[in-house]
Amino acid sequence: MTNEQKDNLFVLVKSLTKSEKRQFRLYVGRMGSNQDSKFLNLFQQLDRMSRYDEKVILRKGIVTKQQLSNLKAHLYKQILVSLRMNPVNKNIRIQIREQLDFATILYQKGLYKQSLKVLEKAKLLAIKYEEKFSAYDIVELEKVIESQYITRSLSNRTETLIFESNLLRKQNNIATQLSNLSLQLYERLIKAGYAKSDQEFREITQFFYENLPKLDFETLGFREKLWYYKAHVWYSFLTHDFLSSYRYASKWIKMFEDSPSMIAIHPVFYLKGNNYLMESLTLIKYPSKFYAVLQQMIYRTSHEDFPVNDNLKALNFQFHYSNKINLYFLEGNFEDGLSIVPEILKGIVAYENQIDPHHIVMFYYKISCIYFGAEDYENCIIYLDKIISNKRLKMREDLLCFSRVLNIFAHYEAGFDYHLETHLRETYKFLIKMNDLHEVQKAMIRFVRSLGDIFPNDLKAAFESLYEELKQYENDPYEKRSFLYLDILSWLESKIKNIPISTIIKQKAIQFNRKERPSISPFS
């Protein structure tokens, strides 16, 4: 890991745009005495540096080693203050909290009626845009002012505030419970993947319903419904109910399409909802609908009303390219997929501070699958090695497992027989250690181990035998997860028929689009 990534101040300075840097200098220059301030000199030095080096800073004589830590903390705070003042960063949440701050200042100055007037406007804004935690803080401050009997308000004012406070507290409590449940389910998926047995299915189901709050769905607001759908999407993913994942993600996005103004208010929710919807469509193999959803997301995020900031840029990159790869997989267009690999690698570098290690690993796995489908096995192996050789990864055991299995097949296809036995032995040790040796994996590894004893004239029959053995697991609730990471059946068909795997998948894509599909549409 680089020094730039370790030093938070340096990362923050390097994330600033030219206009943000100009604004910061203007902000500091408002007082003439600040022109030569040490923190401004430190800012300018960091801006000039290509990598963080504390020795260079100390040699410049800007500050002593003992003072550097405090000066960096002061500069960090001043940059954040400057950014907060930038109109570009003033979203609804910041605007509401700013009004709450203004009202607090007015209250402290004894201007109670003015404070209540500001609070009332801020409360209406918060409720309109589903910022109910802020709305609750506003009501609590209103109660503080009213409790002092300063305004001599009418008696029904007390009843109104109590009603609002109780209602917001209940709504926030539901949202908190649902968001907690959603986060816990997501953590489980990241660490262990889908349910692997009846016991795990029962454990997940019991956990889900024990932690799902009792609620009246019709009384839920936009925000609570979002968390409700999100929790159900993750539960459906974990339990292999991909049709339910599709339905809940569809309802999620339909809420936004019915209320387009909410897209600009909750852009992260909109992007993630689309991502989950397309992931569901991948799993139920629905290429035509997938394409329609992807195009709609691209259209919405390209619109001038869609917010722009570093976080959204990173998420947009991540979801756009991840799902573009998935579409290439669904349609078997691996050659087209190769064309976007340089763009993906460039984006990973550009957003390395915003994208977590798990999603970077997912990109590497998908890139390796693109190369495998395009029959470029050497590059496939290169990207799989980025996953397998990373000993710090402590997530998605199933993804790590299939990276190793795909690595074996890539070595076989590339003709690297002299490495095969070593990889087989390491893969066996890994699978046994994670206690995840399922029938599909056992069958695949048995086959590869026997390859050296099969005569060339008998290979086709061996492929056919393995295909028949694996085909029986295609719809097994727990074994079928193997085919979600590695389309081994299409690979075997390509070997049996002696045609490219891309041709096999393209033929299947045509059949998938002809199938009767669920009636729920995200844009109907």
Q: What integer pLDDT is reported at residue 369 of this predicted model? A: 92
With b for 16 or more beta-carbon neighbours within 10 A and e for fewer, the 443-456 pattern comes to bbbebbeeeeeeee
Q: What is the mean pLDDT of residues 399-425?
A: 79
Q: Which of 1-15, 290-304, 428-442 has the highest mean pLDDT?
A: 290-304
Do the Cβ atoms of 77 and 84 come closer than 8 Å? no
Read off the amino acid at residue 107. Y
Residue 521 has pLDDT above 50, yes or no: no
Cα torsion angle, 283, 287, 289, 291, sign: positive
Q: What integer pLDDT is reported at residue 517 of this predicted model? A: 53
Q: What is the pLDDT of residues 173-207, one digit of tens each?
A: 999 999 999 999 988 887 777 788 889 899 999 99
Q: What residue segments make up the domains of the chain, in order of their start?
A: 3-89, 92-153
Kindly indicate the confidence band of residue 284, based on its pLDDT and cuts at 50, 70 and 90: confident
Residue 520 has pLDDT above 60, yes or no: no
What are all long-range contacts of 206-210, with beta carbons under 8 Å and residues at least 24 apart?
208/181, 208/235
The Cα 496–Cα 142 span in angstroms is 74
Q: What integer pLDDT is reported at residue 126 of this predicted model? A: 92
Averaged confidence pLDDT in the chain:
85
pTM equals 0.79
Residue 492 has pLDDT above 60, yes or no: yes
Q: What integer pLDDT is reported at residue 452 of this predicted model? A: 64
The Cα 415–Cα 344 span in angstroms is 28
Q: What is the pLDDT of residues 248-257, one digit of tens each?
A: 999 999 999 9
Q: What is the pLDDT of residues 346-391, one digit of tens each?
A: 999 999 888 888 889 989 999 999 999 899 999 999 999 998 887 7
Percent of the chain topping pLDDT 90: 36
Using alpha carbons, list the distances in angstroms from residue 452 to 413, 418, 425, 468.
Answer: 13, 11, 15, 21
Q: What is the pLDDT of residues 205-234, one digit of tens each?
A: 999 999 999 988 888 889 999 999 999 999
Q: What integer pLDDT is reported at residue 118 of this predicted model? A: 95
Do the Cβ atoms of 362 and 403 come closer than 8 Å? no
Q: What integer pLDDT is reported at residue 434 of this predicted model? A: 63
Do the Cβ atoms of 523 and 256 come closer than 8 Å? no
Using alpha carbons, list the distances in angstroms from residue 394 to 155, 205, 387, 398.
Answer: 59, 24, 11, 11
SS3 content of the chain, % helix, strand, coil (to 5): 75, 0, 25
Q: What integer pLDDT is reported at residue 27 of this predicted model? A: 83
Q: What is the mean pLDDT of residues 82-96?
A: 79
- 3-state SS track over 131-146: CHHHHHHHHHHHHHHH
Q: What is the mean pLDDT of residues 270-277?
A: 95
Q: What integer pLDDT is reported at residue 515 of this predicted model? A: 62
Q: What is the pLDDT of residues 424-466, one digit of tens each?
A: 777 777 766 766 567 887 787 777 777 667 777 888 888 899 8
Q: What integer pLDDT is reported at residue 20 of this predicted model? A: 87
Q: What integer pLDDT is reported at residue 435 of this predicted model? A: 61
The Cα 395–Cα 361 span in angstroms is 10
Cβ-based neighbours of 230, under 8 Å, separated by 6 or more: 178, 182, 252, 272, 273, 276
Read off the amino acid at residue 259. S
